[in-house]
Structure 1
Amino acid sequence: MADFSSYSPITSELDPPFAVVDLAAFRRNADDLVRRAGGTPIRVAAKSVRCRSLLTEALARPGFQGVMAYALPEAIWLARNGFDDILMGYPTVHRAALRELAADAEAAARITLMIDDQDQLDLIRSVAPDGARIRVCLDVDASLRLLGQHLGVRRSPLRTPAQVQALARIVADDNRFELVGVMFYEAQIAGMPDSSPAVRWVKRRSAAELADRRGAVVDAVKQVGSVNLVNSGGTGSLEISSADPVVTEVTAGSGLFGPTLFDRYDVFQPEPAVAFALSVVRRPGRGFATLFGGGYIASGGAGKSRLPKPAWPFGLKLIGTEGAGEVQTPVRGDTADGLRIGDRVWMRHAKAGEMCERFNTLYAIDGDQLTPLPTYRGEGKNFG
């Protein structure tokens, strides 16, 4: 496991707030993802990394292949910096980027857009001049519908084989587009900790339903054209997704960093490979210390699970009435009394790449070497 106490000596010349990535833990996490994928190639989710050097590090390892981007300007930037096989994870309506893609045959050959609606195709036609052929993938709703409830994220309107086939036919009939494949993201499996028997039951039920429907969808699309790509899964569902023979690749990214949202899964637990340091700036009372900064809140449903957590020294907790603040974060616990002004507290983020929006640099720890790696933000890029 990551040894937070060992980080302070090698980073002693740095002034917090700053962030580090433990490359040994990062590599072990990568190896574990490959093991869990069972031979199915892993596409790296760029939004969970947001650092070109670390994307390259992951893709250099056997078992990883391709990038999933979250924004089209990001995908074009990555393509022009040597990355190949870039799949968009989400639809785009970025008109300038679409025009840029259509005018760049090399980038268009490396990037696949994600769609789930004919209106998205119409928008692409309306803003992109005739030029390079645009590759597209169909995003299929992978949620579980049970007793009138929608269990999963609100993504694609495509669900049934007939619905997916109808859009596939529209793509295939337009020579401006090339149909590449289909994607399923089962967030209700990949993104939910195993926190109760009810959650575990939902995951099993959802996996069974999706395995049947995913095969039927792929068969329906094959009646229209070839299907070269069937993407599925996330860090939390690699075993389940890769076990389906129709799936050609899985996606993972957060598991490389090991954020706190993955601390409560039954079948795996990544090592904490990324952390950030904050300075103690106040001692407001016995059992308390106040840190500078720290309000790096993760996206999703607002709640305690989206807050960063003190990781070292052990025994510290956030204060419920204040949480993590933009300019100060109080912590409490018996070990707080041993902290002095200027000491450091190491924190872990709830999610993975989102933390990189707050730091220009990730300091890579590799043995006794410390190497600064620019994040997207550090390279002057913000695609949010």
Structure 2
Amino acid sequence: MSIVLPAPGVVTARPGGPEYWESLTEATRALETPLGAISLQALAFNADSMAQRAAGTRIRVASKSIRVRSVIDAVLARPGFGGVLAYTLPEALWLAESVNDVVVGYPSVDRDALRALATSAELASRVTIMVDSIEHLDLVDAVLPPSRRETVRVCLELDASWNSRLLGHIGTWRSPVHSVDDARALAETIAARPGFALVGMMAYEGQIAGLVNAPANALRGIAVRWIQGRSAAELAERRARAVQAVRQVAELEFVNGGGTGSLESTSAESSVTEIAAGSGLFGPHLFDHYRHFSPAPAAAFALSVVRRPDAGKATLLGGGWVASGPAASDRLPLPVWPEGLRMIPREMAGEVQTPLTGAAAARLRTGDRVWLRHTKAGELSEHLNGFAIVDGRAVVGEAPTYRGEGKAFL
């Protein structure tokens, strides 16, 4: 289906609270569980909030955090958004059938996909691959030499982690290109290689964008904010010098950085031309723990109560939709409606069942439904064939996920 969001600025109050969950329940009452729902009002609120936080810097939609084509299309139609950051090359080629600006966020060693890219003038003009080493260039040449392929657009990834003298490596382990000299050297190599065009740079500051800075532990929050402040200052200076050095080698079309959690700090850097973000659109419960923004829970899922082990417990069918990352309780779905539900420590969320306790559990009956929120955004789409699209208190259509369209990219 084609999704039409409320116009920018129409939804000014953050959707949420009891009335919000009651409206989702009423709207989807005739649908069987498990079901996922996306609120148009909450999605529009989140998109507008992200655009305001980016302060005029374009947001490239991170498809990994959505995995619903119609949602991606709807967001791209709004002011402040443009282009897609895909997570695999096969996904990028698929999206490029209708999107003319797709950057692959991670290097690809998929030879079939590289061959498809390199033999299509249209795809080669729309898709940019990620590289951080000479080996990535060699692999493309091994698939098809420059004389037998289209020119391949490439983006150089700069490592955005912070090497603290006190704490060591802070951030994600991604690109080996860390220093200004590293970036310049790789840029010169790319520029000298036939069959490649260096068109962009990227640096993802996961330790700022993806690390919650207002956790339940107040002392941890103080430490995280201290780390983020110093890391942001170090990166801004190093990224500016690296971009300047690479621009002396190649005429860059874009410099990408940041994420949902760093829209303010990344957009403040004059060397950055766009920010990749997507999780803030769905607003999973991981994002409840940031100080400087609070997205609405635009995407959620509902499961049914199928048994009552005793008077104080209600058991859901399914529920073990655990998010990626360090194995811990914060990777589990969060029961949010009815209020007053919690998982049982010795069982938690299971593949086939999730028992719940708490004050609300005693009031639940077999057949009732419980709303939950996933820890992360796009991973929820891997469990569903589609989302019910809710406008107020009515379902206005269903949007298929990648899975629902028969696609499982990773």
Q: Equivalent of 1:164, from 174, 179, 183? A: 183
The TM-score, its normalising length taken from structure 1, stands at 0.98
Deviation at 1:369, TM superposition (A): 3.6
What one-letter code is carried by the residue in structure 2 that aligns with 1:131?
A: R
Report if the CA contact (8 A) 2:284-2:297 is conserved. yes
Equivalenced residues, count? 383
Deviation at 1:128, TM superposition (A): 2.7
Q: Equivalent of 1:52, from 69, 81, 89? A: 69
Deviation at 1:175, TM superposition (A): 2.6
Q: 1:66, 1:37 → 2: CA distance?
A: 15
Report the aligned-residue RMSD: 0.9
Gaps of 5+ in 2: 1-14, 216-220
The TM-score, its normalising length taken from structure 2, stands at 0.92
Q: 2:253, 2:404 → 1: CA distance?
A: 35
What one-letter code is carried by the residue in structure 1 that aligns with 2:201?
A: V
The reply to whether residue 144 of structure 1 matches residue 178 of structure 2 is: no
- Greater shift, 123-132 or 349-358, is seen at 123-132
Report if the CA contact (8 A) 1:184-1:232 is conserved. yes
Q: Equivalent of 2:313, from 288, 307, 314? A: 288
The reply to whether residue 362 of structure 1 matches residue 381 of structure 2 is: no
Query: Partner residue of 1:28?
Result: 45
Q: Equivalent of 1:75, from 73, 78, 92? A: 92
Query: Partner residue of 1:309?
Result: 334
What one-letter code is carried by the residue in structure 1 that aligns with 2:53?
A: R
Deviation at 1:55, TM superposition (A): 0.2
SS at 2:320 equivalent: coil
Query: Partner residue of 2:32?
Result: 15
Query: Partner residue of 2:134?
Result: 118
Query: Partner residue of 1:267?
Result: 292
Query: Partner residue of 2:325?
Result: 300
Runs of 4+ in 1 over 3 A off after TM superposition: none
What one-letter code is carried by the residue in structure 1 that aligns with 2:193?
A: D
Report if the CA contact (8 A) 1:317-1:331 is conserved. yes
SS at 1:150 equivalent: strand
| 1:332-371 alignment, distance < 5 Å | 332-367=357-392, 368-371=394-397
Report if the CA contact (8 A) 2:36-2:302 is conserved. yes
What one-letter code is carried by the residue in structure 1 that aligns with 2:144?
A: A
Deviation at 1:13, TM superposition (A): 1.4
Report if the CA contact (8 A) 2:28-2:395 is conserved. no
Deviation at 1:286, TM superposition (A): 2.7
| 1:146-225 alignment, distance < 5 Å | 146-147=164-165, 149-194=168-213, 195=215, 196-225=221-250
Partner deviation per Cα, 1:279-318 (whole Å, 9 max, x = no partner):
0011111321100011111011110111000010001011
The reply to whether residue 85 of structure 1 matches residue 101 of structure 2 is: yes
Report if the CA contact (8 A) 1:10-1:370 is conserved. no
SS at 2:289 equivalent: coil
What one-letter code is carried by the residue in structure 1 that aligns with 2:116?
A: E
Query: Partner residue of 1:96?
Result: 112
What one-letter code is carried by the residue in structure 2 that aligns with 1:378?
A: G
Partner deviation per Cα, 1:340-382 (whole Å, 9 max, x = no partner):
0000000000000101001001111013243110000000000
Q: 1:84, 1:298 → 2: CA distance?
A: 31
Report if the CA contact (8 A) 1:232-1:249 is conserved. yes
Deviation at 1:131, TM superposition (A): 1.6
Report if the CA contact (8 A) 1:75-1:111 is conserved. yes
Q: 2:395, 2:357 → 1: CA distance?
A: 33
What one-letter code is carried by the residue in structure 2 that aligns with 1:141?
A: D
Query: Partner residue of 2:4?
Result: none
Q: 2:321, 2:339 → 1: CA distance?
A: 20
Q: 1:193, 1:123 → 2: CA distance?
A: 37
Q: 2:274, 2:162 → 1: CA distance?
A: 21
Identity of aligned residues (%): 53
| 1:222-233 alignment, distance < 5 Å | 222-233=247-258
Q: 1:345, 1:128 → 2: CA distance?
A: 53
